[in-house]
Amino acid sequence: MAVKTADKTAAGKRIEIPAPKTKTIAVKIRGTSPLVMHAFNPVDIGKIAEKQAAGSTASNRKTRDPKDFDALCEAAKHYSTTGWIGIPAMAFKAAMVRACSLLGLFMTTARMVISVIPDGQDRAVPTDGLVRITKGEPKKFLTQAKNANGGPDIRSRPMWDAGWEATLRIEYDTEQLTDKDILSLVMRAGMLGVLEGRANAKTGNDQGWGRFELAMKG
């Protein structure tokens, strides 16, 4: 099917633009390293908003509340609106786009022609889509970190052991990419990893976390 534009050429003929040809494939992945997650806590969002609203009157010497490491670990999970835990779909797309540089493909083109279809929406941020984790259970993981001022801190995060699984539903433009291209990108994205401690994180060290491999093509 062609989409006809309202513009005309100098000869008075309409310009016909072919409709995009898209395809969706399902790719099952299995974690080859631990997966560590850090969802932005809605409570923290409220505190930041409160502090910014107070402006210059906000105190920098407020009493620090005791840390509840169990609660912090729970708050760091990406829960869907129906209660399951997932990984942001954009994390997988970002890893696939970044992997384009390893294959000589243009990252800007990949951003436009690849979409990872979410299984549901994030409960805390409904505009964010999630890919459901279908295998594996999280455990509390304490790790040392540095605050913005350089001071040491302990963070509580949920961690899934290697072997976690998910299924990616990837929609793409078949005039730009093939099934083989998509599978190659997924494999290389798996080498980079997703979420905390991944190889291509802008901040933090490469812990080798969040890596995955193809389990089977669905």
Is 118 inside a domain boundary?
A: yes
Residue 93's domain comprises 23-55+68-217
Is 139 inside a domain boundary?
A: yes
Q: Could you give the number of structural domains in the chain?
A: 1
Is 16 inside a domain boundary?
A: no
What are the helix (H) ranges across the chain? 42-54, 69-75, 89-103, 107-113, 179-192
**pLDDT score at 117:** 98
Percentage, residues of the chain above pLDDT 70 = 80
Q: In this structure, is the dihedral angle defined by the CA atoms of residues 83, 164, 159 and 119, taken in order, positive or negative?
A: negative
Where do we find the tokens 């040491």? 152
pLDDT category of residue 3 using cuts at 50, 70 and 90: very low
Mean pLDDT across 114-133 = 96
Tell which wins on pLDDT, 147 or 68. 68
Half-sphere exposure of 87 (CA within 13 A, CB side): 32
Where do we find the tokens 């409570």? 43
Is 98 inside a domain boundary?
A: yes
Q: Could you give the C-alpha distances from 33 to 17, 77, 121, 141, in angstroms and in order?
A: 45, 18, 25, 14
